[in-house]
Amino acid sequence: MFELTFDKMPYLQAIPLSHTAVNQNITLSVLRLDVIHAEISGNKWFKLQFYLNEALKLNSSRIVTFGGAYSNHIIATAVASKMAGIGSMGIIRGDKQTNSTLTIAANAGMQLAFVSRSQFQHKNIIQQQLQQPGDYWINEGGLGPLGVEGAMGIQTYIPPLTTHILCAVGTGTMLAGLIKGALPHQNLIGIPVLKGVDNIRQEIAALVKQPEKMQQMQWFNTYHFGGYAKHNTILLEKMNLWWQLYQLPTDKVYTAKLMWAVFDLIEKNYFPAGSNIVAIHSGGLQGNTSLLPNILKF
Ligand SMILES: *Cc1c(COP(=O)(O)O)cnc(C)c1O
> Which residue has its alpha carbon closest to ligand 1 atom 4?
170
Q: Is residue 267 part of a domain?
A: yes
The CA-CA-CA angle for residues 276, 280, 284, to 5°, reads 160
Which of 123, 142, 161 corresponds to the end of one domain? 142
Do both 136 and 150 map to the same domain? no
Which of 142, 171, 193 corresponds to the end of one domain? 142
Do both 29 and 63 map to the same domain? no
CB 177 less than 6 A from any atom of ligand 1: no
The pLDDT of residue 64: 98
Average pLDDT over residues 260-279: 98
The pLDDT of residue 22: 94
| pLDDT confidence tier of residue 149, bands split at 50, 70 and 90 | very high
The pLDDT of residue 184: 98
Structural domain of 219: 14-37+146-290
pLDDT digit string, tens, across residues 211-233: 999 999 999 999 999 999 999 99
133/106 Cα distance (integer angstroms): 22
Strand order of the sheet with strand 187-192?
11-15, 27-32, 276-281, 164-169, 187-192, 217-219
Average pLDDT over residues 116-134: 97
Question: Does the predicted TM-score (pTM) go above 0.85?
Answer: yes
Q: How far is the CA of 232 from the centre of ligand 1 (A)?
A: 20
pLDDT digit string, tens, across residues 17-28: 999 999 999 999
Q: What is the CATH number of the domain that holds 116?
A: 3.40.50.1100
Average pLDDT over residues 265-280: 98
Do both 273 and 190 map to the same domain? yes
Q: Total structural domains in the chain?
A: 2
Q: How far is CA 192 from CA 3, 25, 48, 95, 165, in A?
A: 29, 28, 21, 26, 14
Residue from 266, 237, 268 nearest 29 by CA: 266
Residues 6+ apart with CB under 8 A from 199: none
Q: Is residue 280 part of a domain?
A: yes
Pocket test for ligand 1, best of 41, 43, 262 (most atoms within 8 A of CB): 43
Q: Let me know how long the chain is.
A: 298
Which of 112, 142, 172 corresponds to the end of one domain? 142
Q: Is residue 197 part of a domain?
A: yes
The pLDDT of residue 213: 98
The pLDDT of residue 262: 98
110/215 Cα distance (integer angstroms): 41
Among the atoms of ligand 1, which is closest to the Cα of residue 72?
Answer: 15
The pLDDT of residue 228: 97
Do both 30 and 49 map to the same domain? no
200/196 Cα distance (integer angstroms): 9
The pLDDT of residue 177: 98
| pLDDT confidence tier of residue 132, bands split at 50, 70 and 90 | very high
Q: How far is CA 116 from the centre of its chain?
A: 24
| Average pLDDT taken over every residue of the chain | 98
Q: How far is the CA of 192 from the centre of ligand 1 (A)?
A: 10
> Would you call 77 helix, strand, or coil by DSSP?
helix
